[in-house]
């Protein structure tokens, strides 16, 4: 209350703080702040409860009668905000996923904040990155390059470079027009907060994000060459 009394003596030009700040207003501000804090913690607790209900990958495999996974592919659905593991045609498990900020359109150019759509492969696996682990996909793919060439966004020489990288170098390089460095990664520093939100928050530059624990499950079954379909 001492600070409130000090604030009342302030004058901002012709405006006196005491004309607007009184004990009732101060009390309402405190109540509103406490309500926001309680709401935030309530949201986190609800998210924790939802996460506790998820089965582990090993349990999901057992439920599907699978001893191991030999022919894994990943299907990413931007409409349902999920990344699903398939063994041949069998759906093994689905995870909640976050995407690029521009969720309503497919990636076509560098810096557009969108997630690419199409068929890709995991081309490298990095376990020492800011976002915990990073499974890079070969974007731009040959199909992405073909479409860009048709639209006149890239030259024939640039197309040939992407084609060479696609067939002989596994990972295609970042392209000044089409972008790149897209993949599946964790959350990292803010994992505990973001993974426990009961809603999807699309925050990446175009990559697909799962919580760190889900990334660990993926890491145990994927490899370079694993098929990734994004739709």
Residue 17: DSSP 8-state? G
DSSP SS3 for 90 = strand
Angle, vertex CA 120, rays to CA 116 and CA 121, nearest 5: 135
pLDDT beyond 60 at 19: no
Which residues have CB under 8 Å from 149's CB, separation 6+?
Answer: 156, 159
Q: How many residues does the chain have?
A: 231
User: Measured between alpha carbons, how far is 196 from 45 in angstroms, rounded to an integer?
Assistant: 8
At 200, the pLDDT band (50, 70, 90 cuts) reads confident
Please list, in sequence order, all residues whose beta carbon lies within 8 angstroms of the beta carbon of residue 26, skipping any fewer than 6 positions away: 4
Query: Rounded mean pLDDT of 25-34?
Result: 72
The pTM of the full predicted model, rounded to 2 decimals, is 0.79
Task: Give every CB contact of residue 9 below 8 A, 6+ residues apart in sequence.
Answer: 17, 18
> Which one has a higher pLDDT value, 121 or 55?
121
What share of the chain has pLDDT > 70, as a percent? 81
Which one, of 147, 135, 137, lies nearest residue 177 by Cα? 147
């Amino acid at each position: 209350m001492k600070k409130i009394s000090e604030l009342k003596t302030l004058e901002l030009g012709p405006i006196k703080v005491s004309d607007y700040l009184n004990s009732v207003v101060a009390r309402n501000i405190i109540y509103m702040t406490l309500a926001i804090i309680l709401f935030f913690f309530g949201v986190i607790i609800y998210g924790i409860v939802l996460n506790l209900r998820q089965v582990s990958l090993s349990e999901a495999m057992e439920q599907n009668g699978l001893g191991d996974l030999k022919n894994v592919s990943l299907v990413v659905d931007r409409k349902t905000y999920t990344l699903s593991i398939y063994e041949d045609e069998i759906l093994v498990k689905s995870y909640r996923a976050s995407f690029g900020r521009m969720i309503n359109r497919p990636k076509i150019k560098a810096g557009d904040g969108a997630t690419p759509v199409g068929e890709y492969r995991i081309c490298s696996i990095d376990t020492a990155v800011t976002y915990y682990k990073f499974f890079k996909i070969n974007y731009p793919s040959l199909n992405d390059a073909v479409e860009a060439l048709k639209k006149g966004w890239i030259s024939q020489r640039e197309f040939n470079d992407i084609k060479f990288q696609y067939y002989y170098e596994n990972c295609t390089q970042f392209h000044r027009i089409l972008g790149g460095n897209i993949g599946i990664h964790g959350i990292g520093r803010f994992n505990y907060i973001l993974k426990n939100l009961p809603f999807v928050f699309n925050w990446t530059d175009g990559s697909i994000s799962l919580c760190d624990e889900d990334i660990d499950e993926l890491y145990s079954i994927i490899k370079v060459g694993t098929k990734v379909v994004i739709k």
